[in-house]
Amino acid sequence: MSPAAEYLRPLLSVTPKIAVVLGSGLGAFADSLDDAQTIPYGDIPGWPQSTAVGHAGKLVVGSVDGIPVAALAGRAHLYEGYTAHQAVYGIRTLRELGVEAIILTNAAGGINRNYKPGDLVLISDHINLLGQNPLSGPNDVSLGPRFPDMSEAYDKSFRVIARTAGAQMGLTLAEGVYVAVPGPSYETPAEIRYMRTIGADLVGMSTVPETLAANHMGMKVLGISCVTNHAAGVIDQKLNHSEVLEVGERMKSTLIGLLRELCRKL
Ligand code: HPA
């Protein structure tokens, strides 16, 4: 067992079934859990600290209508200096603890011209432009195969459930391809044109390492992007992180409602 799982197992009063990773400015769901136990990342052996603004850096284990859920408020990004291997430490720990399904949320720039800030988009597939893969290096066969399949990295049935849950809340959830870049600088308009050409609808600096590691371990993944801004050059406007956080804040209650419903239904 990893040092983190060894630390957490005796501490947690429930075994989470589902985990939710909360992206930039999207951490409020963690505070909506019932019977919550909060563990700062700094207390968990080996767990990377969150240094990004808008990331609380805590693991909250609690429940939604009696369903045990783990929420990760904050994640490790490559732009913080972490490797893709470090970025998946939390996911691997949760798998060891028994989590079977994971919802990955993120803030993303909208490359697709049909998207507008505040849209929630289901990730249908991804493109990895990080230049790193968390599965590189020696393969631990107890986790998964050397060459894992990624032909349905974002589970189709989960997307159907999410679209239906969204519709019941009056939300139309589009689907799109997410491209991950290392950051931390935002993209240039030329880079965004390139990403559109290769088939991307959304751009962000996270999620792909976790998706790769989760699929490697046989976990099912649902990915949800909150479009916080038009990607660079889509409209004549400069990008900044406070806009990203503001839109996350505006979408707080909608996202909490959707995530709670998904915890019940997935
Ligand atoms: N680019 C990259 N990452 C992001 C963006 C963006 O425009 N918005 C939120 N995260």
Beta bridge partners of 229: 109
Could you tell me which residues come within 8 angstroms of residue 176 by beta carbon, excluding any fewer than 6 positions away? 112, 115, 121, 122, 123, 124, 200, 201, 202, 225
Condensed to tens digits (0 to 9), the pLDDT of residues 2-28 reads: 899 999 999 998 999 999 999 877 888
Residue 234 confidence (pLDDT): 86
Residue 54 confidence (pLDDT): 67
In this model, does residue 203 exceed pLDDT 90? yes
In this model, does residue 228 exceed pLDDT 80? yes
Residue 242 confidence (pLDDT): 87
Residue whose entry in the numeric block shows the structure tokens 């493109």: 127
Pocket (CB within 6 angstroms of ligand 1): 107-109, 186-187, 203-205, 228-229, 231, 239, 244
Q: Considering the entire predicted model, what is its pTM?
A: 0.95
| Contact status, residue 225 vs residue 120, Cβ threshold 8 Å | yes
Domain ranges in the chain are 3-265
259: amino acid identity, one letter = L
Q: What is the length of the chain?
A: 266
Residue 50 confidence (pLDDT): 78
Residue whose entry in the numeric block shows the structure tokens 């990624």: 150
Which residues are known to be catalytic?
24, 55, 77, 79-80, 107, 205-206, 229, 241
| Ligand 1 pocket test, candidate residues 241, 244, 245, 249, most atoms within 8 A of CB | 244
The topology under which CATH files domain 3-265 is Rossmann fold (3.40.50)
Condensed to tens digits (0 to 9), the pLDDT of residues 130-176 reads: 999 999 999 999 999 999 999 999 999 999 999 999 999 999 999 99
Residue 144 confidence (pLDDT): 97
Condensed to tens digits (0 to 9), the pLDDT of residues 70-110 reads: 999 999 999 999 999 999 999 999 999 999 999 999 999 99
Q: Quick one: what percent of the chain has pLDDT higher than 90?
A: 85
